[in-house]
Amino acid sequence: MLGRLGRQAIRSFDAFLRWAYRIEEFTQDSECIVRLGPGRCGWTVRLSDGTVLHPGDALLEMHLWNEHLPPIPPEGHTVAWGARLLYLMRRSLDLLAEYVLGEPRLSHIQALHGILPIPGGKALPRWERALRHLGFEVVRPPSGWWHTFAAFWENLYTWAIIWAFNPPSLRRRRFGRMVRCHVWLTRSTLAALAGKPTAGQVTAEQGRPAP
């Protein structure tokens, strides 16, 4: 009884935060595990594909769609679970590319950003490699007492969200081992995933002399 009420309270608070931060579903596809919200870049960011973001630049913030995440089985991260998660991530990227590249109101958006709590320890490099293989640029959080302090409270909220939406996933997690990495996805990466040229590539093609 108390557990059910607690989970309902957390879900209601999560819904309030989604409303406050204008986080919305951009698709009704049940295999999408990402929601989007508006954001602004807080510092100068230089990404590996040449994309440069300045403080104040508009971007899209990616948030996990908790209800659509596959629960971790009691035996932990099985091959079947990993394959399912990988499929859902790829499906979500396809949907993101279709939406961002096809929506005229988002033509000024050059990058998407998110903060993803990744298992630490020996698992961290494996998660980083998997995310980079999908097209994400992964940046580990900066060191320092303030970032550690802030990460503790953010991880506590993440823990509560997992307990409310996906409680079986807590069986194999360690609270202190979550690393909150910044993940970036650029417009050019989305275009590459979708097989579409970016505006710069179109201009270059148009300016190329005919054979």
Distance CA 86, CA 130 (A): 9
All structural domains of the chain with their residue ranges: 2-204
Distance CA 100, CA 34 (A): 13
CB 151 within 8 A of CB 84: no
CB 9 within 8 A of CB 165: no
Sole residue written with tokens 């990466």: 189
The pLDDT tens digits for 30-68 are 999 999 999 999 999 999 999 999 999 999 999 999 899
The pLDDT tens digits for 8-17 are 898 898 899 8
CB 61 within 8 A of CB 201: no
Q: Which two tokens stand for residue 144?
A: 């320092």
pLDDT the model gives residue 204: 42
Digit-by-digit pLDDT tens for the chain (211 residues) are: 667 788 889 889 889 989 999 999 999 999 999 999 999 999 999 999 999 999 999 999 999 998 999 887 777 778 998 899 999 999 999 999 999 999 999 999 999 999 998 888 888 999 999 999 999 999 988 777 777 788 788 878 888 888 888 777 776 666 657 888 999 999 999 999 888 665 554 444 444 444 4
